Structure 1
């Protein structure tokens, strides 16, 4: 279980998150909804160690952790960002295997086999050799998710996973997230899409800009 206690985050004089307290149970989906500027993405970045928190405590399974100071091998939260952040010069399979081989020190054969299994699970079999520019937006998103899963984090976070997707692709994203829940993966979903949030959520956090 992930516990967040009294988390505070500011940028300069502007307070983005003020004394946030939150619990996310293992295997559940938390959706975070609210307007732009309310700190939704900032929270994900703090949990992933991409931003430092000003004060507060992060606790996973009863043990405090600081994601900024942790080695990548001990990643708690892997995030699929809105712009996907795929390496444009690498193929799909190389995008997924890069971090596991460099950071987790997996051998290339094992990493490639695991990556192909993730691609098949996400409906991307046969896309291994394609470059990011050859993929649709929905396919890029699933490659980004496979890349996050390849690092074996305890929790997967998503930043606006349905933005700019048509209704059919939104349903595909919903299906993938619920399938991962069935596998026991804890997930945090930041979204403006209230209907989508209601469909997938075990718990929902409404936030407002300060």
Structure 2
């Protein structure tokens, strides 16, 4: 279980998140929604250690942790970025295996077994040696998901996963998210502006409201 207690985040004098409290249960899909500028992406960036909070605490299974300290918490939070952030000079296999090889110190055999399973689950078999420029948007997104899962996080976060996708691909993303829950019990947090998509995938929807400043 992930708990956020009294999370406050400011940019200068502007308060983005004000004493926010939130609990995410194990194996739950939580959709974070809200209008543009309400702070939903900022909340995700705080959760994943990309932004430092000004006040508050994070707890994983009742033990406090700091998302900024990636080396200590590498297995708690994973993230799939809106623009995928794949390395253009690396092929699919190398994009997926770089971080676990450097951070988790996985052996080549461990990596091969784990990656082949991910490629199969995410319908990427046969794409191993392709580079990002050779992939469609949906394929790039699946590679980004595989890369995040290769780090074996407890919680997987997505930033606007349907923002650049047509309705057919949106449904494929929904299927992947729901399969991860059903097959692995993965806890997932999805930041989205797409309320229809949120209703399709989420066990719970949390709305971030714009603060008047």
Q: TM-score interval w.r.t. the shorter chain?
A: over 0.9
Q: Please give the secondary structure, in 2, of the residue aligned with 1:165.
A: coil
Over 3 Å counting, the alpha-carbon distance change for 1:74 and 1:93 in structure 2 is: same
CA contact (8 A) 1:41 1:190 kept: yes
How far did 1:110 drift?
Answer: 1.9
Q: Are residues 36 and 67 of structure 1, via their aligned partners in 2, closer, same or farther at CA, if it must alter by over 3 Å?
A: same
The answer to whether the 8 A contact 2:65-2:73 is kept is no
**Are the equivalent residues in 2 in contact too, given 1:33–1:190 (CA < 8 A)?**
yes
Tell me, yes or no, if structure 1 residue 128 matches structure 2 residue 113.
Answer: no
Q: Distance in 1 between matches of 2:9 and 2:112?
A: 38
Unaligned runs of 5+ in 2: none
Using the TM superposition, give the Cα deviation of residue 99 of structure 1 relative to its aligned residue in structure 2, in angstroms. Answer: 0.3
Q: How far has the Cα of 1:72 moved from its partner? A: 5.7
1 CA distance for matches of 2:156 and 2:27? 11
Distance 1:124 1:48 in 2: 26
SS in 2 for 1:103: helix
Other-structure match for 2:148:
148
Moved over 6 A (4+): none
Are the aligned partners of 1:93 and 1:112 in contact in 2 as well (CA < 8 Å)? no
Per the normalisation by structure 2, the TM-score is 0.96
1:27-82 C-alpha deviation (Å, 9 max, x unpaired): 00000111121111111111111111111010001100011124166331111010
The residue that corresponds to 1:41 in the other structure is 41
Cα drift, residue 132 of structure 1 = 0.3
Q: Is the 8 A contact 2:74 2:151 kept in 1?
A: no
2: CA distance between counterparts of 1:79 and 1:185? Answer: 13
What is residue 204 of structure 1 aligned with on the other side?
A: 205
**Corresponding residue of 2:96:** 96
Q: 1:73 to 1:15 in 2, by over 3 A?
A: closer
Helix, strand or coil at the partner of 2:20: strand
Q: What's the TM-score, normalizing by structure 1?
A: 0.97
What residue in structure 2 maps to residue 192 of structure 1?
Answer: 193
The residue number in structure 2 matching 1:13 is 13
Aligned mates of 2:192, 2:73 — CA distance in 1: 28
Match of 2:117 in 1: 117
- Which sits farther off after the overlay, 38-47 or 71-80? 71-80
Partner of 2:85: 85
CA RMSD of aligned residues (A): 1.1
Give the deviation of 1:203 after TM superposition. Answer: 0.6
Please say if residues 138 and 169 of structure 1, whose CA atoms lie closer than 8 Å, have aligned partners that are also in contact.
yes
Matched, 1:2 2:8: no
